Amino acid sequence: MIRALAVDIDGTLTDHKRQICPASIEAIQSLNVPIVLVTGNTHCFTRTMAIVLGTPFIFISENGGVVSHSDNEMEILADLDLCEKAYQELGKVIKLHRHDSRYRFTDITLQRDFDVKVATKQLQAIGLEVELIDTVFAVHIKDARVNKGTGLKCVAKRLRIPLEEFAAIGDSNSDIPMFELVGFRASVGNASTELKAISDYVAGDYYGRGFFEIAKHMNEYGML
């Protein structure tokens, strides 16, 4: 039995233009378990999405760097200074274009106009504990010691719900760490090949319609 859902936002609840899909809202309204939003986006964006979708103020943002336990309690798990140092060092050898980060607490986002594999090798040579995550919408420089999985562990402990009683739904490789922890994994049709490979269920439909399909599947099979 699944007692809670960990759900990515961009590419999972939204369409290819990052607009929320009506099907996602309909699906969320049909679910009777807590939904924990888990995203690479900012805390303030995720809080707004929680209000719009009617989900709890218990969520994970910045790829696990920030965990919200309530509207009055936020926990920082990652080190922004480490990412800043990596950005400065990487910028010496690769031309980078940084997104506006004034709302971010723990990571740095970059335009997807450089070779991530080459940049990753450069960071490995520097020896900093950071990693690059391509979420399709941006490339994140993040603290390698945290991810969506470490964020979910933190939330699960506070909620007193075993990780095996969570389901995770997503679309990109940044969702893999939380997929590796939970009892049921489902990916939308537009998900990465790597994520689909470790999924228990892969939706035939894409984006928010795919999430709707997954929610329907879970309800029909009595998983919720």
C-alpha to C-alpha distance for 41 and 33, rounded to whole angstroms: 23
Mark whether 134 is an active-site residue: no
End-to-end CA distance of the chain: 6
> By C-alpha distance, which of 43, 102, 40 is closest to 69?
43
Of 8, 15, 107, 143, the catalytic one is 8
- What is the C-alpha radius of gyration for the chain, rounded to an integer number of angstroms? 17
Cβ pair 26, 34 in contact under 8 A: no
Report d(CA 37, CA 155) in Å as an integer. 11
Q: Give catalytic residues, as residue numbers.
A: 8
